[in-house]
Amino acid sequence: MSRTNPALAAFARRLLTEVDDLVARMGEAYRAEIPEYASLTSGELETEVLPISRRAVTAFFSAFFNGHRIGTADLRVFEESGRVRLAMGVPLDSVLHAYRIAGRVTWEAVVATIRPGEEPLLGDLAAGWIDFIDQASCLVARGYLAASHERMRHVDARRRELLEALLSATDPADVAAVSLRFSTVLSSAYVPVVVAGDGVAGCIDALLDAAGPGSLGGHRGSRVLLLIPYELSCAETLHQIARGIVAYGPAANPGEDLVAAVQHAEQLADLGAAEYGGSGIYGPDDLLVEQLMLAAPRLTGALRRRVTDALAVRDPSGVIATTLRTYLACGSVPETARLEVVHPNTVGYRLSRVRELLGLDPRIPRQAALLVLGLGIRTTAAVPPARVPVAPYPAGECPEQPVAIRR
């Protein structure tokens, strides 16, 4: 596009004499086609939006007669306007829609201003205007997204800081200080909820919306910790959003009780991931066998030595141990035979061998309970070893399904 073409320069001067009417038509089109712009006050439109539209038109057409390309300073204003639109609460899609409208309305003005004999100018004008609007839109989006990321980092940091401060409080005075420091009204009790799963960190806003008024939340590594006032009624909704694990502890008062409840919820999340994979809803009354084992590490260790360690020595192939796990999980010889793809008599023989090797009969409930505890939980990879001194399950088990959420 030539910047010194006399015909283009003359046309540009003529169009710019009508710039006030052109910008006013842009404003009318914004309000007619974009709900967010329709909801702006006249003052907001006149002071925040239309000056940028005017700047776009004057920057582009002035370049045809002032002898220089559109400079960095002319373009920087569009990037900054993206930041302003975010602060105004206008969605990025709507902002970019406004630029498409500006491009269309301006081109309609160009066509209306062309005089007979000037039609050859339209090629240069069209190419230049399309490139300019595209470049301006990219800069607006860049400024908008940069400001959005900065705001998210700030919000996440504040959320995390509030959570850590609240979980560090040890008495009512500390809790009151946290409330004052963050200008936040705190609940007298919270239900801690740990949400885990692929991409769950990016769902924190949706999770907080589902958690309801007064809820607090923040990132804890790759997980999200929510503190929900008084009681939990949205676990299924949280699970639908996260598509992972939702684990919650008992309601507790801020202070040491809340810290213990958070640790309980985190432990349940670890156990849920270890025992049943990456999805499920677990509360304080779920995974009771696993919780019992974690709560009594000395007894768990003794049972592990009597069962798991003994089987490792006396059943080096692991065949008997695998059949035992399957039987304890489903409680049926025929079902165990089906799952193990063996004859039921084979299952019976292997269960008898368990009695001979360990002195514990899996068909007697009290002794079966000791075998269940002695076999341990499937894995301890996600749980600190000091808290879970139990051996992992080998492959081939048929674990009991978790209890459904209590409403």
Query: How do residues 321-362 score in pLDDT, each as one tens digit?
Result: 999 999 998 999 999 999 999 999 999 999 999 999 999 999
- Selecting from 2.40.50.140, 2.70.98.10, 3.40.50.620, 1.10.490.10, what CATH number does the domain 6-150 have? 1.10.490.10
Domain residue limits, the chain: 6-150, 176-284, 287-407
Tokens coding 366: 């009290």
Q: pLDDT at position 155, please?
A: 79
107-131, pLDDT tens digit by residue?
999 999 999 998 999 998 999 999 9
| Equal CATH topology for 6-150 and 287-407 | no
Among positive and negative, which fits the CA dihedral 394, 400, 401, 405? negative
With beta carbons less than 8 A apart as the criterion, state whether 178 and 166 touch: yes
Whole-number percent of the chain with pLDDT over 70: 91
Whole-number pLDDT of residue 388: 29
pLDDT of residue 221: 82
* 31: amino acid identity, one letter: R
Question: What pLDDT does 288 receive?
Answer: 83
Residue 287, CA distances (Å) to 233, 266, 405 in order:
20, 13, 11
Domain 287-407 belongs to what architecture? Answer: Orthogonal Bundle (1.10)
Full 3-state SS string of the chain: CCCCCHHHHHHHHHHHCCHHHHHHHHHHHHHHHCHHHHCCCHHHHHHHHHHHHHHHHHHHHHHHHHCCCCCHHHHHHHHHHHHHHHHHCCCHHHHHHHHHHHHHHHHHHHHHHCCCCCCCHHHHHHHHHHHHHHHHHHHHHHHHHHHHHHHHHHHHHHHHHHHHHHHHCCCHHHHHHHHHHCCCCCCCCEEEEEEECCCHHHHHHHHHHHHCCCCEEEEECCEEEEEEECCCCCHHHHHHHHCCEEEECCCECCCHHHHHHHHHHHHHHHHHHHHHCCCEEECCCCCHHHHHHHHCHHHHHHHHHHHHHHHHHHCCCCHHHHHHHHHHHHCCHHHHHHHHCCCHHHHHHHHHHHHHHHCCCCCCHHHHHHHHHHHCCCCCCCCCCCCCCCCCCCCCCCCCCCCCCCC
Token duo for residue 137: 């839109």
Stretches where the chain sits below pLDDT 50 are 1-3, 379-407
* pTM for the predicted model, two decimal places: 0.57
Partners of 216 in beta bridges: 227
